[in-house]
Structure 1
Amino acid sequence: MMLDDDRSPGRGATVEAELKGLVRGRVHASGDDGYEQARTVWNGSVDHHPAAVVHCADAEDVRAALATARRCGVPVSVRGGGCDWAGRAIREGGVVLDLSAMRGVRIDPGTSVAEIDGGVLAGELLDAAAAHGLATAAGAVRSVGMTGMALAGGYGGLIGRFGLTLDNLLSADLVLADGSRVVAGPDDETDLWWALRGGGGNFGVVTSARFRLHPLGLVIGGIVMYPAEQAPQVLRGYQEIIAAAPDELTVMAGFLTGPGGLPIVFVAPTWSGDLDTGQVAVDPLTKLGTPVMSALQPMPYPELLHMFDAGSAPGNGNALNTRWLPALTEDAITALTEAALTRTSPRSLLMVHHFHGAATRVSSDATAFAVRRPHLLTEIIAVWAPGEEADQHRSWIADVSASLAPGALPGGYPNILDPANIERTRLGFGGNLERLLAVKRRYDPDHVFSAVAALH
């Protein structure tokens, strides 16, 4: 089914009026009750004013709204979980295809497959899978859109055992820029299938997707906090542990605000294997220094993802940057420690994600996501109170990123890079860039979808 739509009420109407008479889902335009909430995303510093927000009820609403926007010459964007910090999901003056009402989750325990609609959050999928003793690789928080995360990569506590989130994506249903509906998978639209896994939301709107599930009981997880002055010895010990970690042990580290408002360095393991073996494996993480708090215990995997709920709460101002580090060298440890001590807001934090195990045993050209060597994804996250001036916090991010640059791998993770940083984004795709650009030209030659500007 292509873009011409016999349900159109006429080309003379505004795009908002056309949409309101066309789709099953609700449409919010400027001045409507609910418009302000509809245009709000997780990052409180994003203040974009779209022409209309279409709360799509199903794939046909997506197709019809897309057709109308294109016919009216209005740009489009796609909102899944609404956690895109850069605000790309809410296009200024555009039509937002909001998938937040498309939240169905269907678990087939016999085949260990989950089918989800395009607006499902990670926590919703994990809760449904856990009811059957199953799980899939997800990120570090529950509130992120599962599909958007999978299209970019998806670092999390199960990465060592089950790979990136995108490594567990089995197939996806899409509405393309020309209005056609396709299924991309290992046997269908194979170039598109390759590009989706790491190329981001640049080729169409994913209205549903299927994920591989894995048997998983309790995991051992939690957090151990140390005073910031112990950071060098803690991070040295952390590097030694992760360098020899089995697939079942993935450990996040970083800096946040601890008891008393002081910066602390933390380690946060996820052990996904035998619990007795796991207790022995995580114990050294409690002895890297003198902890101010240690809370590691068996728990359901979905519960573990509540750990950073407070830090991911919506409404604050946020800005992010990232560096891929091959390891925590002495220079990197010094840079991160200095960054923690000079942060411009007690809400700001640094996160170090551990990439190893199963995720590294995928060829760099098997998916668009190219960086398959062991490494550490470092997130530099500035968080400030609503209404507070942002310049000093953005400067802090730039300084930290620059201090880590000399020892970093080329490029960066597109979900965390500034969309304007085209050069680093392109470098992140490595040898996959030319193929990715060719797929973009084939499926979206008019650049209707622009989640990653580097692919234009």
Structure 2
Amino acid sequence: MPQSVLVDCDGTPVDVAAIEPFVAAFRGSVVRSGDAEYDRARTIWNASIDKRPGLIARCSGLADVIAAVRFAREHGLLVAVRGGGHNVGGRALCDGGMVIDLSRMKGIHVDPRERRARVQPGVLLGELDRETHVFGLAVPAGVVSKTGVAGLTLGGGVGWLARKHGLTCDNVVSFEVVSAEGEVLHVSADDHPDLFWALRGGGGNFGVVTSFEYRLHPVSMVLGGLVIHPRDQATELLKFYRSMTQSAPDELGTYAALMHTPDGHPVAAIATCYCGDLAEGERILAPLRAFGSPMVDAIQPMPFPVMQTLLDAAVPDGNQNYWKSTYVRELSDDAIDVIVSHADQATSPMTAVLVEQYGGAVSRVPASNTAFGQRHLEYDLGVCTQWSDAADSARHIEWTRNFADAMAPFRTGDYLLNFLGDEGEDTIRAAFGTNYERLVEVKRRYDPTNFFRVNQNVKPHPAPIAG
């Protein structure tokens, strides 16, 4: 087993004598190579990511985060920040440097009178939903309960409730942030408004967020679930999905999926969540339930936290993952044909191809209001390739890339930040769209040395744009 020593950004090992005072004063736990907890501490959901940090600082609270940032800065360390660890690109880890691990910071305080929740960065969506649901309230956040609130929010945050209540980042009232200098900033529309703008969709470029304050919405019971059809009905089902979503009310969030059943049968499905009056939801969803001859119709009233768990089984811990994603101009017949034909050739039965609808409240926020600028686009295609044996990686990755290339005639050139894997600078720039240059200015102001760069990075001194 290779050993991983702590090294600075030049590859020079950090003297053990310099590490010990930091470890002694740290309230949480510090994990190093050779420790019994090391391999578990460096493991994240995506098994394709195998990185060996020199030091993992599991923070217990704000003071630990400050200490970790200052220690890393003093010794010139590469730093990754881990919240829920659910980013497909593995940006929660780094080789040789320090991981500032926030996963044990799980405080949640709900104020039902003000409809606010203050949440620490290690909280997962299911944990947040459990606390807010007691009061019949919810944060619009995601579709998988194991997702971390921190990365989801900083990248924008789509989910079942987005069409009605906006993105997760649209519902942030304030942040507590540890800056690249190790200083604590309270960030809101009134305090550091430029940073407040950038944190809502700009990723982890600007600091370690140690607290999120969210606006809550009255959501308790929803009408949701899956309708599943045989795969040979996929083309017609996607055309129906296109028609249904074009006239959908804001209360209706839907995803279409080409996937396999647990026993390996290829199917086409629509997953849906209606967050308004349940009787009206029954009327709205009646055409979906009447379409074709579904194998399964599991739509039913359920508590919103249950809705958030319906897709958990599709993204288990421990699988190899490689994803591609792109917004499409429209869900045309030709685009549907390409989607179905490539999905039918999927190299792994664990793979899911998703068509996600946005719009609604998301599209009514001006693109310049937050760093998340892809407000005008309706559909995102996600190719979520999963497999179990690392020896098969090349085959599955090649299929995924070929699928993405085949979608070139239909894509807009825009990307959803939280779906990005190993893409380069041009794709990251495209994901920020017209907000990119403004993000560069905020980066220069708050992190001019690019201390926080293990992320979808905005460089403070970008290279000139060709042409």
Normalising by structure 2, what TM-score?
A: 0.93
Does the C-alpha gap of structure 1 residues 455 and 301 become closer, same or farther in structure 2, counting only changes over 3 Å?
farther
**Which residue of the other structure, out of 294, 297, 303, is the alignment partner of 2:300?**
297
Give the whole-Å Cα distance in 2 for the aligned partners of 1:413 and 1:454. 15
Q: Report whether the alignment pairs 1:453 with 2:457.
A: yes
Which residue is equivalent to 1:123?
126
Give the whole-Å Cα distance in 2 for the aligned partners of 1:31 and 1:276. 58
Does the C-alpha gap of structure 1 residues 177 and 223 become closer, same or farther in structure 2, counting only changes over 3 Å?
same
Deviations 1:317-345 (A, max 9, x none): 00111011232111221111112111110
* Alignment gaps of 5+ in structure 1: 1-10
Normalising by structure 1, what TM-score?
A: 0.95
Q: State the Cα distance separating 1:400 from its structure 2 match.
A: 1.2
* Alignment gaps of 5+ in structure 2: 1-13, 461-467
Per the alignment, in what secondary structure is the counterpart of residue 44 of structure 1? coil
CA contact (8 A) 1:156 1:353 kept: no
- Partner letter of residue 131 of structure 1? V
Superposition map of 1:1-400 within 5 A: 13=16, 16-258=19-261, 260-400=263-403
CA contact (8 A) 2:327 2:377 kept: no
Per the alignment, in what secondary structure is the counterpart of residue 21 of structure 1? helix
Q: State the Cα distance separating 1:71 from its structure 2 match.
A: 1.1
Q: State the Cα distance separating 1:258 from its structure 2 match.
A: 2.0
Aligned-pair identity in percent equals: 38
Q: State the Cα distance separating 1:259 from its structure 2 match.
A: 6.0
CA RMSD in angstroms comes to: 1.4
Q: State the Cα distance separating 1:132 from its structure 2 match.
A: 0.4
Superposition map of 1:402-417 within 5 A: 402-417=405-420
Per the alignment, in what secondary structure is the counterpart of residue 453 of structure 1? coil
Deviations 1:269-310 (A, max 9, x none): 110111111001112112332211110000011101111111
Deviations 1:5-42 (A, max 9, x none): xxxxxx95456434312210000000011000000000
Give the whole-Å Cα distance in 2 for the aligned partners of 1:418 and 1:331. 26
CA contact (8 A) 1:413 1:425 kept: no
- Partner letter of residue 419 of structure 2? I
Question: Aligned pair count?
Answer: 446
Give the whole-Å Cα distance in 1 for the aligned partners of 2:77 and 2:215. 37
Q: State the Cα distance separating 1:454 from its structure 2 match.
A: 4.5
Give the whole-Å Cα distance in 2 for the aligned partners of 1:145 and 1:219. 22
Q: Which stretch of structure 1 is more off in the superposition, 149-158 or 415-424?
A: 415-424
**Which residue of the other structure, out of 431, 434, 437, is the alignment partner of 2:437?**
434
Give the whole-Å Cα distance in 1 for the aligned partners of 2:19 and 2:41. 14
- Partner letter of residue 118 of structure 1? P
Per the alignment, in what secondary structure is the counterpart of residue 328 of structure 1? coil
Give the whole-Å Cα distance in 1 for the aligned partners of 2:94 and 2:405. 30
